[in-house]
Chain A
Amino acid sequence: MVAQRGGPTVTAVVVLLTVVAGGLGAGLRFVVDGALRARWAPSLPVATTVINTTGSFGLGLLVGLAQAHASPGTEAAQVVLGTGFLGGYTTFSTASVEVVALLREGRRGAAALHAATMLGGSVLAAAAGLAGGTALA
């Protein structure tokens, strides 16, 4: 849904910017993850939860704004910043591997809690972003 197929505004330049933005988002994730883990070492891998909930809020905000101000410019911005930057910043693969690692340690409750807070937190954050973006527009 974020990258609408075949839209006239999704040009080669937009695709290139999206790919570069995805790299920047991934780099930011690495830095934020490292900084959080260095300062704060709880028994659950909460750095990924922080990254995914903040990124989901940001994407909700972008999508809410873009829905209210539909134009080629906002569509391109949504693709570059949303699909690219925030897509690269957030990660599903690490979230899944972390839950599997907790299960392998025999920490079933921690695994369920980690998966549930990641899903619930991100879906609620995205909903708040969508509502905020629509209200701001």
Chain B
Amino acid sequence: MSAPRPLHHQPALVALVAAGGAAGTAVRVAAEAHLPRPVDLPLPTLVVNLAGALVLGALLEGLSRRGADRGRRRAARLLVGTGFCGGLTTYSTFAVEVDLLLAGHLLAGVGYALLTVLLGLVAAAAGVAAAASWSRSAGARP
């Protein structure tokens, strides 16, 4: 058996990430099209970014509590985490939105930037805490 190739050199795993990324992008596009956009707040981007941070935090914590990163756990991490959550969320749209808001109202741009980053940390931490709590309530199985 040959030495294991790095994950990012394995076409099947890159394809898994791409499939999840396409699905996440589809949800993001739907959110951008249908969620309301109140004055001065790019709500759709905020919502998808917070949702993705929450899910990724829960997923990675839940998977790591179940065991080593291999087999189905690795596939789930790449498809749902790196792929779906990464495709659902976007830093580029967020950054450009901050610049466009800054050009109009300094406070709106600064407020949107700090709100997004701080709530993103809260969402990711809440996901981690939720997964930890589920693992505990599921009992310490052998």
Chain A: residues with CB nearer than 8 A to chain B? 1-3, 5-6, 10, 15, 18-27, 29-31, 33-35, 38, 52, 55-56, 58-60, 63, 82-84, 86-97, 99-100, 103-104, 115, 118-119, 122-123, 125-127, 129-130
A101 to chain B, nearest CB (A): 9
Chain B residues whose CB sits within 8 angstroms of the CB of A38 once the complex forms: 6, 8
Whether A115 and B18, one on each chain, are in contact in the complex, defined by CB atoms closer than 8 angstroms, is no
- 28 A-B residue contacts at CB 8 Å? A2-B32, A2-B93, A3-B29, A3-B33, A5-B33, A20-B22, A22-B21, A22-B26, A23-B18, A23-B87, A30-B8, A30-B13, A35-B8, A55-B92, A83-B25, A83-B93, A87-B25, A88-B90, A90-B91, A91-B90, A92-B52, A92-B89, A94-B56, A96-B121, A97-B53, A122-B92, A123-B102, A123-B113
The number of chain B residues with a CB under 8 A from chain A is 59
Interface residues of B (CB under 8 A from A): 6-9, 13-15, 17-22, 24-26, 28-29, 32-34, 42, 49, 52-53, 55-57, 60, 78, 81-83, 85-100, 102, 113, 116-117, 120-121, 123-125, 128
Other-chain contact of A100, B25, B89, B124 (Cβ < 8 Å): B124
Check A96–B124 contact: CB distance below 8 A: yes
Q: Are the C-beta atoms of A27 and B18 separated by less than 8 Å?
A: yes
| A29 and B93 within 8 A (CB) | no
User: Is the beta-carbon distance between A89 and B15 smaller than 8 angstroms?
Assistant: no
With a CB–CB cut-off of 8 A, which chain A residues contact B42?
A: 1
User: Chain B interface secondary structure, helix, strand, loop or mixed?
Assistant: helix
Q: Are A26 and B95 in contact (CB under 8 A)?
A: no
A35 to B49, CA, bound (A): 25
Contact A88 B32 (CB under 8 A): no
Establish whether residues A119 and B90, one from each chain, have CB atoms under 8 Å apart when the complex forms.
no
Q: Is the CB of A91 within 8 A of B93?
A: no
Q: In the complex, how many angstroms separate the beta carbon of B53 from the nearest chain A beta carbon? A: 4
Please tell me if the beta carbons of A30 and B53 are within 8 angstroms of each other in the complex. no
Which of A15, A58, A93 is the one whose CB lies under 8 Å from B56?
A93
Complex Cα–Cα for A118 and B33 (A):
27
